[in-house]
């Protein structure tokens, strides 16, 4: 995912016409329900690489839907170092982790030029009472986030470095496919350092493994461009 050209005209599009609606909203919403949801979207805005959506410790007043581009979430450790918690693609919701608290328990930063929909929690609570299926969808998204956290803990606890990198690439591949994009050829919007941080590896280890995968004709790597050449072998490495 390279730097994205975001159309300001496209930002005015409603949830009803958004191509990602089925990823972050329940299916089967009626026209009037889409209109109610549109009315509570506080802002559809463009953020640039390095811009913060929210900061750890700030008041938690909204959740955010990524419309285009990508963002990362991270926390600052007691030693003052950044710990990457996840990467979020179009159609994914950011800020769910802090719903049970009055302040954000992590920060979120744009990895590239991205468009974001902001949904104030007070308004969202009211509209969930009006649209029960939306409340169910939010619970489903929260459950998915918890499941991803569990998978990440298992990845760090049980898998070696090769398996971690292979699993990461396969995860991105599947998420791109879900969005109707190529699952075999894509760009990494996150840096090698961010990937290494997320996977609990040294950045040199990530670079070495990607080079190894290239030498073994499993993937082709050109800077941030990834081409999965042998999907079956990548699956084999991830599960070995």
The answer to whether position 171 is within a domain reads yes
Quick one: 109 and 226 in the same domain? no
Same-domain check for residues 148 and 177: no
What is each CA distance from 41 to 13, 18, 44, 189, 194, in whole angstroms?
A: 12, 13, 7, 26, 30
- Per-position pLDDT tens, the chain of length 240: 444 443 334 434 567 667 666 667 656 666 677 777 777 676 678 999 999 999 999 988 888 889 899 999 999 999 999 999 999 998 888 888 766 778 888 999 999 999 998 888 887 777 778 777 777 777 777 777 777 777 777 777 789 999 999 999 999 999 999 888 899 999 999 999 999 999 999 999 999 999 999 999 999 999 999 999 999 999 999 987
What confidence tens digit (pLDDT) does each residue in 105-140 have?
899 999 999 999 888 888 777 777 877 777 777 777
Q: Within 10 A of 118 (CB to CB), how many other CB atoms are there?
A: 18
- Spatial separation of the C-alpha atoms in residues 84 and 57, rounded to whole Å: 16
**Predicted local confidence at residue 114, as pLDDT:** 95
Q: Find out whether 46 and 33 touch, Cβ atoms under 8 Å.
A: no
Phi-psi region of 109 (alpha: psi -120 to 50; beta: other; left: phi over 0): beta
Global confidence as pTM: 0.81
**Per-residue pLDDT, 191:** 96
SS3 31: helix
Q: Are 180 and 141 within one domain?
A: no
Question: Do 145 and 183 fall into the same domain?
Answer: no
Q: Which pLDDT belongs to residue 220?
A: 97
43 and 139, same domain (yes or no): yes
Q: Which domain holds residue 95?
A: 10-156
Residue 104, domain member (yes or no): yes
Last residue of a domain, one of 116, 140, 156: 156
Same domain, 141 and 53: yes
126 assigned to some structural domain: yes
Give yes or no: residues 65 and 102 share one domain: yes
* CATH number, position 164: 1.10.10.10
Check if the beta carbon of residue 163 is closer than 8 Å to that of residue 234.
no
Per-residue buried b or exposed e for 77-92, using 16+ beta carbons within 10 Å of the residue's own CB: eeeeeeebbbbbbbbb
Same domain as 164, residue 146: no
Q: Are residues 84 and 193 in the same domain?
A: no
In a domain, 4, yes or no: no
Pair 40, 108 in one domain: yes
Q: Are residues 213 and 186 in the same domain?
A: yes
Query: What is the side-by-side order of every strand in the sheet holding 93-94?
Result: 43-47, 114-120, 62-68, 93-94
The CATH number for 99's domain is: 2.60.120.10
């Amino acid at each position: 995912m390279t730097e994205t050209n975001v159309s300001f005209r496209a930002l005015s599009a409603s949830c009803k016409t958004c191509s990602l609606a089925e990823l972050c909203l329940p299916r089967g919403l009626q026209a009037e329900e889409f209109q109610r949801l549109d009315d509570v979207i506080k802002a559809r805005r463009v953020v640039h690489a390095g811009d913060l959506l929210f900061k750890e410790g700030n008041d938690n007043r909204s959740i955010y839907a990524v419309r285009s581009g990508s963002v990362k979430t991270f926390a600052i450790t007691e030693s003052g170092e950044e710990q990457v918690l996840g990467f979020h693609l179009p159609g994914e919701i950011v800020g769910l982790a802090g719903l049970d608290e009055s302040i954000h328990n992590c920060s979120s930063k744009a990895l590239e030029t991205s468009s974001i929909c902001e949904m104030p929690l007070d308004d969202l609570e009211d509209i969930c009472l009006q649209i029960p299926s939306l409340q169910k969808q939010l619970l489903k998204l929260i459950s998915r986030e918890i499941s991803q956290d569990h998978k990440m803990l298992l990845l760090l606890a049980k898998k070696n470095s090769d398996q971690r990198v292979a699993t990461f690439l396969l995860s991105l591949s599947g998420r791109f496919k879900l969005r109707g994009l190529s699952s075999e050829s894509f760009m990494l919007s996150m840096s090698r350092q961010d990937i290494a941080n997320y996977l609990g590896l040294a950045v040199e280890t990530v670079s070495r493994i990607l080079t190894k995968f290239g030498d073994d004709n499993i993937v082709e790597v050109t800077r941030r461009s990834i081409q999965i050449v042998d999907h079956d072998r990548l699956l084999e490495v991830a599960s070995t």
